[in-house]
Amino acid sequence: MKKYNHFWILTTILLVSCQTPQKENYRWLKKSLDAASIQLKIAGEKLEGTGMFPRSIHQVCDTMFISRQLERDPSIFKDSIESESTPELAGQTLLCPASDWTSGFFPGSLWYAYEMTRKDSLKKFAIYYTNLLNPVRYIKNTHDIGFMVNCSYGNALRLTPNDTIKEIIKETADNLCGRFNDTIGCIRSWDFGDWNYPVIIDNIMNLDLLFKAYNLTANNRYNEVAIKHAKTTMKNHFRPDYTCYHVVSYNNDGTVEYKRTHQGKHDESSWARGQAWAVYGYTSCFRETKDSIFLNHAEHIANMIIRRVKTEDLIPLWDYNAIQSPETPRDASAAAVTASALIELSTLTQNNKYFTYAETILKNLSSDAYFAKIGDNQNFILMHSTGSVPNGFEIDAPLNYADYYYLEALKRYMDVKQIKYFDL
């Protein structure tokens, strides 16, 4: 009789255990947040008092490598090389001033890391490095003011709101609107080069600053400029397969002068980060406007990315048309931007395939293949990003914006999963 009872007790336990959902393992997430927090804190301490921000790592340009990647003779692209790093600087941190387009990403990363972990040391540095960007409010010669301000002051506004931040967002949004041309219907990107009126796909990311200014002030001009820019870009930047050009230059009457892919393999190739900017930007446009034209466009781009990225770990090559070679660099920054965008897109569409795809990217970026060891990588979080192959700049290197969008994606992931750092 005892054996009989023991048999049924054991059977019942086994049946119950089989029916009880297994708790998901988030060790990878806890490990990543802890390591990222340490890397950011060390970087903040090292640069305190310099007035500078970490951007990447100095590299010496290898023109023959670029030649192989572009499948072009070096004489054709030699004038486009931008890297000024010397062998003496190689491996050291590449710093940038507040006026650099990437300056807002480091304070933004600190804000996200603080928001998730609530570590006061991160908040202290987030405030310190954000305040260093105060002079940016007077800059009018760049469209990248959105990156610089929205990623830093924009996150500060969510976490430590005050009237000074609101005023900075309004001033910089006004400066961005000052670069809008009503006839062309776009915000001008660059003030250099032989283009008449260049607009780059990256500019779609700066519209969040205008939407934020609209939400703060109810001034519809911010909304009008953002929406018009997004619709003009949708009309002219994209090919029938929803890949996009990097640059579209306009004539003064609003007609297209020409289309190019400045940082990609060639003009008709699909530069990986450009595709990531596109899906992120149009997802944001739908979030702010609720106009289904933007949601449909974001989904088309997302589906294209899922089809086109052929790497096993979903971290794309630097260009979708890049040669399949062991030396061809990946772009972790494009992967991080895509992951962040697709997590948000999944919440707007209730389509779980976007979340699943983004989750795979995040877990792979959090692996030893891409996530740097504490103390290595000049204290950047991620390895193996690519800035611009044609310019010989930041190739297979850490990038501050890869870290920023990786942390943003982690935050969005935790929000969807409804998990907190202290529960991990």
Q: What is the pLDDT of residue 1?
A: 42
Rounded to two decimals, what is the model's pTM? 0.94
Q: Give 137-182 pLDDT, tens digit per residue.
A: 999 999 999 999 999 999 999 999 999 999 999 999 999 999 999 9
14 pLDDT above the threshold of 70: no
Per-chain mean pLDDT for the chain? 93
For the chain, what is the largest distance between any 2 Cα atoms, rounded to a whole number of angstroms? 94
Closest CA relative to residue 246, chosen from 227, 229, 269, 225: 269
Q: What is the pLDDT of residue 10?
A: 47
Q: Does residue 215 sit within a domain?
A: yes
Catalytic hit among 202, 319, 331, 403: 202
Q: Does residue 19 sit within a domain?
A: no
Q: How many domains does the chain have?
A: 1
Q: What percent of the chain has pLDDT over 70?
A: 92
User: Is 169 in contact with 149 (CB distance < 8 Å)?
Assistant: yes
Q: What string of DSSP letters covers 353-403?
A: HHHHHHHHHHHHHTSTTTBPPTT-GGG-SB--EEEETTTTEEEEE--HHHH
13 pLDDT above the threshold of 90: no
**CB-side exposure of 10: number of CA atoms within 13 Å?**
6
20 pLDDT above the threshold of 50: no
Q: Does residue 7 sit within a domain?
A: no
21 pLDDT above the threshold of 70: no
Tokens of 359: 């989750």
Helix (H, G, I), strand (E, B) or coil at 335: helix
Q: Give 340-351 pLDDT, tens digit per residue.
A: 999 999 999 989
Q: Does residue 62 sit within a domain?
A: yes
Q: Does residue 22 sit within a domain?
A: no
Q: Is 202 a catalytic residue?
A: yes
Q: Does residue 23 sit within a domain?
A: no
Closest CA relative to residue 129, chosen from 413, 411, 410, 404: 404
314 pLDDT above the threshold of 90: yes
Q: What is the pLDDT of residue 117?
A: 98
DSSP assigned state of 23: P
Catalytic hit among 100, 144, 319, 331: 144
Q: Give 166-222 pLDDT, tens digit per residue.
A: 999 999 999 999 999 999 999 999 998 889 999 999 999 999 999 999 999 999 999
Q: What is the pLDDT of residue 367?
A: 98
Q: Is 144 a catalytic residue?
A: yes
Q: What string of DSSP letters covers 111-178?
A: HHHHHHH--HHHHHHHHHHHHTTGGGGG--S-TTHHHHHIIIIIHHHHHS--HHHHHHHHHHHHHHHT
CA dihedral 101, 47, 337, 33 (to 10 degrees): -160
End-to-end CA distance of the chain: 45
Domain of residue 85: give its range: 36-423
Q: Does residue 102 sit within a domain?
A: yes
Q: Does residue 30 sit within a domain?
A: no
Closest CA relative to residue 286, chosen from 273, 278, 159, 109: 278
CATH of the domain at 82: 1.50.10.10
